[in-house]
Structure 1
Amino acid sequence: MLQILKVSNFKCFENLELPITALTLLSGFNATGKTSSIQPLLLLAQSIKSTGSINKLSLNGNLIKLGTPGEVLYENSKSKSIILGVKTAEAEISFELNLEKRNPNRSCDIDSINFLDVETNSLLKLNNVNELLSVEEKSASSLIRKLKNIIYLGISRFDYEELYPSPNELDLVNADVGTKGQYAPWHFSEFGDQDIPISRHHKDESAPTLRKQLIAWFDYIFPGSEANSYHVDGTPLVKLELRNSSTGEWRRPSNIGYGLSYIFPILVACLLAEKDQIIILDSPEAHIHPEGQSKMAQFLSMIAASGVQLIIETHSDHILNGVRLAAMKETIKPKDITIHFFNKIPRSEQDVAQITSPSIDHQGNISDWPDGFFDQTEKDLSLLSGW
């Protein structure tokens, strides 16, 4: 499991060391670095997936599109290099990127790789990942595989369609439903009879299959709702159907509430993910009623407790409170929850720190409430009541 994300000279960060745990929430003001803090993970994953190694960093691909090297360099940087790194309990790896060399495909050359094996305390400085894998095969390949298998589900969804595509990647990443959820119907149809780890089972559903467990969790968040998908004979296409009661008619996604089709890929990816796999979610609360948002957060807490690492960007106090409830109910241990609040970027030494990290205890209490941290409801109510 990743423990720390490190970046230097990347976008709005001169230097950043961001602790992450089984469940990490990124919250805060707009344009303060929440998305930028996780983009290095997407860049590394994208580069490994596209080339099978990392000799160049692909700035533009299926996961993320950032433009040119100059656009990702910290604006006050005194050098033309960027460092991206991650740390686990077993190893630490960092990539130094050279932005001096221009590449027509808008990629960045990797000048060097620093790899630290924690067990042996040996530090290696290498030129490429293939050289690294040949020297430290076990710990290095595990970390590279972890990065390669990252799943990213953005806030946008695949346009309403009657039929959905099948993934065409030769080396398909487990549970990768696509950045817009476009492959979720295929996964549900293809792996509907696959058993899900018991730690992810809904308490009221004894059948272990993906199909039964997804419907149980679907009903938990949207009472009465169900999902179904199946391959269309003779084509690579898949049809998705939804309904809001067990006796209702099956409908195409465009003819039923958008929230159902929005959460469907989240449930598929989370239930199918392997232990230690990383899922990055942008705004899982979108298009969901507040009660459903709280339940979604409790579901995600359960998934994190089962061994999947989740990094979630959110603006929802209902997501936060759902996680607090999960801690109080002992669904997840407080030590496995990390919250980062991104404040406005400091412009002087007198400004508050850009990132503060409140903690949650076993009762769901928050240790610190910095100004702007999910407090707008209280501020508005105080004005309405004349306090």
Structure 2
Amino acid sequence: MINNISIHNFKSLNTSDPIEMGSCLFLCGPNSSGKSSFIQAILMIAQTFSRNYKDGRVVLNGGFIKLGVFENILSYSTDSNEILISFELFPENEFLKKYGIQKIYLEFSFGAIDSDVDKRQYNPELNRVKVIAFSNNGGLANLNHKLSFEVEKSSLIRLDLYGEDIADLEKVYPGYVFTGVSKFDGFIPTKIQLNYQVSKKISQDLIPLMINEEKFLFKKNIFKDV
């Protein structure tokens, strides 16, 4: 469930502080104050997650709402050519909870479209995505960083792991270097590419067998999807 949300340059919306969300939310205000725009932004987010483009696109026209082309939703009162949205959520996905992820911060921007003839006008590509995942360490008041990363135009520009995940990944993929993103689910990159030292990996696997020591096998699917 989304805990709070900030929206910038989407129609008339330019929030100075995050809007708190909950199971029951009342929107009050005069005409043209942004109530409808807020609902439209939420529906746009929902249909992007449900449509699930694998190459990182925002669905402006889907089953929940039809917003037309990007220029229709960009604020007229800004010099920026991007829309920026960020929110915190508490995931209900059992897979995420299995690995201790209790809260996710997601920030994304889209816009700056050069072409007016292709699908990017109706389903614009994500410009930047920032994700921070938090793990549970004795309740929601004691959340710690699990991982964080930033993506720009499908290029991974930063990825930070914390705690035992760093050591585990090095054991599975020695000398690893992250190289990019190959798959999105909605706004969130879910498959990250890496290169690693194959010869070192082979040696790492063979030496315990040659000296007849017990071999510990790590599950390679742990880091298949982030």
TM category, shorter: 0.5 to 0.7
**Pairing 1:129–2:184 present:** yes
Q: 1:307-346, aligned counterparts within 5 Å?
A: none
Q: Distance in 2 between matches of 1:55 and 1:42?
A: 17
Q: Distance in 2 between matches of 1:74 and 1:2?
A: 24
Q: Distance in 2 between matches of 1:129 and 1:94?
A: 14
How far does residue 40 in structure 1 lie from its aligned partner after superposition?
Answer: 2.0
Give the aligned partner of residue 109 of structure 2: 96
Q: Distance in 2 between matches of 1:63 and 1:10?
A: 17
Q: Is the 8 A contact 2:130 2:148 kept in 1?
A: yes
Task: Mark the runs of 5 or more structure 1 residues left unpaired by the alignment.
Answer: 142-387
Per-residue deviation, residues 86-119 of structure 1 (Å, max 9, x unmatched): 2124011122102333353322111121101123
Q: TM-score when scaled to structure 2?
A: 0.53
- Larger strand proportion of the pair: 2
- Larger helix proportion of the pair: 1
**Pairing 1:83–2:138 present:** no
Q: Distance in 1 between matches of 2:87 and 2:45?
A: 10
3-state secondary structure, aligned to 2:150: strand
- AA aligned opposite 2:184: V
3-state secondary structure, aligned to 2:36: helix
Give the aligned partner of residue 58 of structure 1: 59
How far does residue 58 in structure 1 lie from its aligned partner after superposition?
Answer: 1.8
Where in structure 1 do 4 or more consecutive aligned residues deviate above 4 Å?
none
Q: Distance in 2 between matches of 1:48 and 1:58?
A: 9
Q: Distance in 2 between matches of 1:134 and 1:56?
A: 15
Give the aligned partner of residue 6 of structure 1: 6
- Give the root-mean-square deviation of aligned CA atoms: 2.8
**Pairing 1:118–2:162 present:** no
Give the aligned partner of residue 170 of structure 2: none
Give the aligned partner of residue 169 of structure 2: none
How far does residue 52 in structure 1 lie from its aligned partner after superposition?
Answer: 4.5
Distance 1:21 1:54, change over 3 A: farther
Per-residue deviation, residues 316-344 of structure 1 (Å, max 9, x unmatched): xxxxxxxxxxxxxxxxxxxxxxxxxxxxx
Match of 2:124 among 108, 115, 130: 108
How far does residue 73 in structure 1 lie from its aligned partner after superposition?
Answer: 0.9
Distance 1:94 1:53, change over 3 A: farther
Task: Mark the runs of 5 or more structure 2 residues left unpaired by the alignment.
Answer: 91-102, 136-143, 155-182, 193-220
